[in-house]
Chain A
Amino acid sequence: MRGGRKALPLAALGALFGGALAVAVTFALSARAQQLVADLSSHLIAITTGFSGTEVVLFGSTDGQGDVAVVVTGPRSNVRVRRKDRIAGIWINRESVLFEQVPSYYVVATNRRLESLAPESVLERHQIGTAHLRLDTSDLVGPLALGDFREALIRNKQRAGQYGLTHGQVTFLGERLFRTNIYFPANVPTGLYNVEVFLIRGGEVVSAQTTPLVVSKVGFSAEVFDFARSQPLTYGVVAVFGAIAAGWLAGAMFRRV
């Protein structure tokens, strides 16, 4: 947990460079054609104390007819999926599988039904759609059970609103301009996001662009979180003294009532 947070600035820097590189490559490649250009209305989602979810607009243009798929991937971490079994009448967590480097957030938006955009192999290669998301594990599990655990992970993430296919739809304004609204719920994980835009023609990805997006706590909630993580002991002591003061105040206040 802490390792992940410490590595974040470095990862952010790397991803920014990677993103910049991707943009540069896209620009270099499309210097003649300019096949695909896209950008976000905002590159930072600030989680403040009143945060209750937000929307980011992605807009762009293509050099002609084609389909667009937008894939938003959140910071990756390991996720353990557990299955309950009935033991002596009580449901208890038994088997578990640890999936590595699972995106904490994953949303796909397209202008048409995903299956009609491109053949399976292409979607698989670019990991477009939850069914084509690569989820690796080093645990030894049979392929059948693994499928169950994999589906369960996606199902649970969908229930939490963190995985989705139809969160936003890509709409074309005319032939070349497109836009989509990407919705981020209140429980959006913090960290560095990648927004990939694919231009698909005749079932092949002809152009792609990656844009970074940062989701970060700011203000009071960020300070509380950082304090709790960086100096957990002091945080606990402060919490206790705060509670003692509050309790004392309440007791004194209502004494007169």
Chain B
Amino acid sequence: MLIYLPIAEMSVDALVVLAMGGVVGFLSGLFGVGGGFLMTPLLIFLGVPPAVSVGTQANQLVAASVSGVLAHWRRGNVDVKMGVVMLIGGLVGTTVGVWIFGLLQRLGQIDVAISLSYVFFLGVIGSLMLAESSRALIRGRRPTASRGKLHHHIWLHGLPLKMRFHRSKLYISALLPAGIGAVGGMLVAIMGIGGGFLLVPAMIYLLNMPTALVAGTSLFQIIFTTAVATVLQAATNQTVDVMLALLLLVGGVIGAQFGTKAGGYLRGEQARALLGLLVVIVAARLAWDLVATPPDLFSISGGGGGG
């Protein structure tokens, strides 16, 4: 069933897009991540222009994180104060990111910039995740979710503007969560991902936040950064395709339900190891595309003229 995407200006098979949304939704439900890092490369692979993939993905993530955060909210697993501080950084990061995106688009370097940031972030995070979880697997049974020492001081904790976060039982510099939020916001704008795979480990290892609160709080923050990214992408680059977002959303929501159920059968470090492997594979694939000789060295784009 072909359906015409008004902003991407192409037709796609609706069932293929629904299935893609379903598979990515399943994985995101399974591992508890947004899945944007899988969806954007898949969309580009399908022939959707990279700029439209990123802009649309931001829109889709708004819906995905709203439905995700509801479940955490009911269990009281959202630290709103922490979320708001991260959000302030996130908004700055998103604005800067959308601006950089537009600049790179005009320079004709957006494709390579998207690929490079994917390879870098996915490669680093994926390898770390893989290494950490395989160590945990080898060590065998250990009490899970050990939070470590309460006062694990590194230089980052010496920053000014200290703030008390009652829900997370933390007394840390506000610059730290704001900075993490800013990096996350930038990723939303440039890579079309929620940045959960970066925020979650950063919140656990840099902020020492209780693990139970991390997923809900990062999702809470991601709703707003993706919402701002959507509005900014639509306003400055006109790259948000609501039709495509809707298709992805429907598939994603259904897939996520099954994924969450399947996730119950996985142990924490097993899930992390699998996710790490997946992330590394995506990064390797994208790295290969950057290095391999392209079939056609030339590419065309509308240079200021409408397409």
Contact = CB atoms under 8 A, between A and B. Distances in A.
A4 B304 CA distance: 10
Interface in A232-257: 232-233, 235-237, 239-240, 242-244, 246-248, 250-252, 254-255, 257
A74 to B, nearest CB: 11
B197 to A, nearest CB: 20
B189 interface: no
Interface stretch (B80-88, B225-233, B267-275): B225-233
A93 B7 contact: no
Interface in B260-307: 290-291, 293-294, 296-307
Contacts of A236: 230-235, 240
B136 to A, nearest CB: 31
Number of contact residues on A: which range applies?
35 or more
Nearest to A51: B4
B16 interface: no
A247 B301 contact: no
A229 B236 CA distance: 10
B103 interface: no
Contacts of B233: 236
Interface residues of B, number: 59
Contact of A242 (B242, B290, B300): B242
Nearest to B233: A236
Nearest to A96: B108
A159 B294 CA distance: 15
Interface stretch (A9-17, A33-41, A82-90, A168-176): A82-90
Interface string A203-234: 00000000000000100111011001100110
A186 interface: yes
A1 interface: yes
A78 interface: yes
A136 B242 CA distance: 37
B257 to A, nearest CB: 5
Nearest to A226: B6
Given A47-B4, A224-B7, A239-B242, A80 B302 contact: yes
B231 A243 contact: no
A48 B4 contact: yes
A167 interface: no
Contacts of B3: 49-50
A5 interface: yes
Interface in B1-38: 2-7, 9-11
Contacts of B231: 233, 236-237, 239-240
A157 B300 CA distance: 8
A250 B256 CA distance: 10
A248 B302 contact: no
Interface of B: 2-7, 9-11, 59-60, 62-68, 70-71, 108-109, 111-112, 116, 223, 227, 230-236, 238, 240, 242-243, 245-246, 249, 253, 257, 290-291, 293-294, 296-307
